[in-house]
Structure 1
Amino acid sequence: MKRIDILVPCYNEEAVLHQFYERTSSVLEQIENYQFTFIFVNDGSRDRTISIIRELYEKDARVSYISLSRNFGKEAAMLAGMDYADGDALVIMDADLQDPPELLPEMIAWWEKGYRDVSARRRCREGETFFKKWSSHVYYKLLKKLTSVPVQQDVGDFRLLDRRCVQALCSLRECQRYTKGLFSWIGFEKKEILFDRPPRAAGKTKWNYWQLFNLAVDGITSFTTAPLRAASFAGCLLAFLAALYMCFIVVRTLVYGGDVAGYPSLISVVLFIGGVQLMFMGIMGEYIGRIYNESKGRPPYIAEERGVKRKEKS
């Protein structure tokens, strides 16, 4: 009998955790010939999330958990769960029930047909603002053009991964992870199923626009050096234009003589070029900062507490 692990990263999810467990358990009870294990990862929650997880652990032998020493972020929490998982397949789900557990039977069916990575693609996204949907669409289009990795669009972390995919992801130990891109980078045969993403069942989203912007920067800098190439191209172009302008000034002075007026325009050009240089230095700083962080060799996460898998009582 094959075993499938359900990985659930949690950060301040006390309002919805019981509801998630009950609804998902009811779906799993209808799926025969498989063993299921819950792996809850508490990512430094400040509410009663870890207490609820401990209650579920004592109640259900299928439940195991990892509690991190602080909030390391969802990317690190997912890696912690992957390191702990040892089933034939792994399903990654959010606890807010925006990832409907009712899709699990279909995911498993496609996995049994030979697909290694079965992901859920959002057809519509309820409860999100127009700006968030628009910016997400623009970002994915930009990322697909900048990188050679075929990053999936409108596909989140909700997916079923074969054991080989999990092992490949665990072998990538970078600290500043962009897992959505890593799913595509490791390859393997993929299958997307469409679904309508509902709003959160309870609680508030933990992702604000600043965090989403940082995640977008991580995605771009992790999978492409296109910004550096663009900076080099723009620098060469500006240098060429500056040389042409210098030649124009010299020729004009030789032909017409006298001082050449244009102090305001000169200052404008200097300020413009200075601003462009600072922007390019910022782009290089992003890459250098990531090199610096990775060179330290620190672990992506630190686990403070573990609840190990147990055999079900007969």
Structure 2
Amino acid sequence: MHPTDFDRTPGRPELSIVIPVYNEQANLPELRRQVAEVLPQVGADAEVILVNDGSRDESAQLISRICSEDSRFRGVHFSRNFGHQAAVAAGLRYARGRAVVVMDADLQDPPRLVLRLLERWREGYEVVYGRHSKRQREGLGKRLAAYAYYRLLRRIVKEEIPADSGDFCLMDRRVVDLLNAMPERNRYIRGLRAWVGFRQTAVEFDRPGRFAGEANYTFTKSLGLAINGMVSLSKVPLRIATYFGLMVSATSFLLAVFFVVQKLTVGFEIRGWASTVVIILFLGGVQLLTIGIIGEYISRIYDEVKQRPLYIVRALENVEEAAPPDPQLFDGPVR
């Protein structure tokens, strides 16, 4: 039985494609062309949801024009920039398809691969994600950082986080409804995608460089996303702080015993300020690191307690309302 054979809601398209957009005016015309070429090959009804994440260029006007010219395209406009993960979450909320694809607007996720993702979904997989076999036009430093990050993440997280994969994926309706039902604000979609489980598989592809323009994800934003992924999915950073405390305490105790023995046996005296300064700086660094780690978790508690919305929608185009959750969300079909 196909994973969504139980879901035959009238009027629900076969496929939704969610595309977050932030300052992508140089890429939107080509993106529309390539996506429009793929849609007729889907073999069923499809929709494309363009989420304007508070763009400061002409992206909003281009999205409006695309939506007015092609009813398959839908526009969701934020009141300001809320971030990539919030834009993905909004797209998932408004997507109505039995299968939902998430991809970037810079064409680094080739639209033609949507057909391959659909093939694996129709074979019975609930999550089909793209895995980068090669990254084109990316510096050595960025490739090494991505390689190290994914390996570190896999070691500190209990769930199986796919290495060398991003947000580009296809998710079954049931998976999307589960993600929409999660109340947390600090979302790491690719981590939550792995957390929900179900049958998952990868589609390998060479990730091209941006079609046009400069990358919107700066080093600072990438670092923030990486920290968010580790903190939102694992308690290991807190344990690292504990381990540092135990290590410093044990080292201090051993040094104290050593100095006492030296004093009683050979009359050794500690001289100079260098050792004292080094010890103070080391302890200060450990304390600041520990406070920083704890602060990351507390800041997330603070965000959750405020209960502010994840995003604010300013305008909708070709969209009436958010898709309702599936009635069999937590029950599912019996296989």
Same fold (TM over 0.5): yes
- The separation in 2 between residues aligned to 1:95 and 1:255, in whole angstroms, is 72
Mean CA deviation greater in 176-185 or 245-254: 245-254
SS of alignment partner, residue 41 of structure 2: coil
Instruction: Tell me which residue corresponds to 1:228.
Output: 238
Judge conservation of contact 1:65–1:306 (CA < 8 Å) in 2: yes
Contact 2:67 2:318 in 1 (8 A): no
Task: Choose the corresponding residue for 2:103, options 80, 93, 96.
Answer: 93
In the other structure, the counterpart of 1:138 is 148
Which runs of no fewer than 5 residues in structure 2 stay unpaired?
1-11, 321-335
1:284 maps to amino acid = I
**Aligned pair in 2 of structure 1 residues 114, 259: CA closer, same or farther (>3 Å)?**
closer
Distance 1:17 1:5 in 2: 18
- The answer for the alignment partner of 2:216 in structure 1 is 206
Are positions 1:170 and 2:177 aligned together?
no
C-alpha separation between the residues in 2 aligned to 1:284 and 1:163? 36
Answer whether contact 1:120 1:195 (CA < 8 A) is retained.
Answer: yes
Residues 1:111 and 2:148 aligned together: no
Structure 2 residue aligned with 1:185: 195
- The Cα RMSD (Å) is 1.6
- CA-to-aligned-CA distance 1:194-246 (integer Å, 9 cap, x gap): 11111111121101111111111101111111121111112112112211222
Report the TM-score, using the length of structure 2 for normalisation: 0.88
SS at match of 1:96: coil
* Residues 61, 309 of structure 1: 8 Å contact kept: no
1:258/1:252 CA distance change after superposition, 3 Å: closer
- Report what 1:22 is aligned to: 33
Q: Which whole-Å CA distance do the structure 2 matches of 1:175 and 1:48 have between them?
A: 28
Task: Report the residue type matching 1:51 in the other structure.
Answer: Q
2 CA distance for matches of 1:250 and 1:100?
A: 68
Cα distance between partner residues in 2 of 1:309 and 1:247:
72
Task: Give 1:47 shift.
Answer: 0.7
Structure 1 residue corresponding to 2:317, chosen from 283, 307, 311: 307
Contact persistence 1:62–1:309 (CA under 8 A): no
Alpha-carbon shift at residue 141 of structure 1 (Å): 0.5
Task: Look up the match of 2:78.
Answer: 68
The offset of 1:258, in angstroms, is 8.2
Secondary structure of 1:39's counterpart equals: strand
Give the aligned residue type for 2:16: D
Show structure 1 runs of 5+ residues with no match. none
Of the candidates 308, 311, 326, which is equivalent to residue 298 of structure 1? 308
Letter in 1 for 2:33: E
For 2:211 and 2:66, locate their aligned partners in 1 and report how far apart those are by CA, in whole Å. Answer: 19
Deviation at 1:255, TM superposition (A): 3.6
* Paired residues for 1:115-134 under 5 Å: 115-134=125-144
| TM-score (norm. length: structure 1) | 0.94
SS in 2 for 1:29: helix
1:49 to 30, 51, 59: 59
Separation (CA, whole Å) in 2 of partners of 1:167 and 1:56: 27
Q: Measure, in 2, the Cα distance between the counterparts of 1:117 and 1:2.
A: 18
Cα distance, 1:250 vs. partner? 2.5
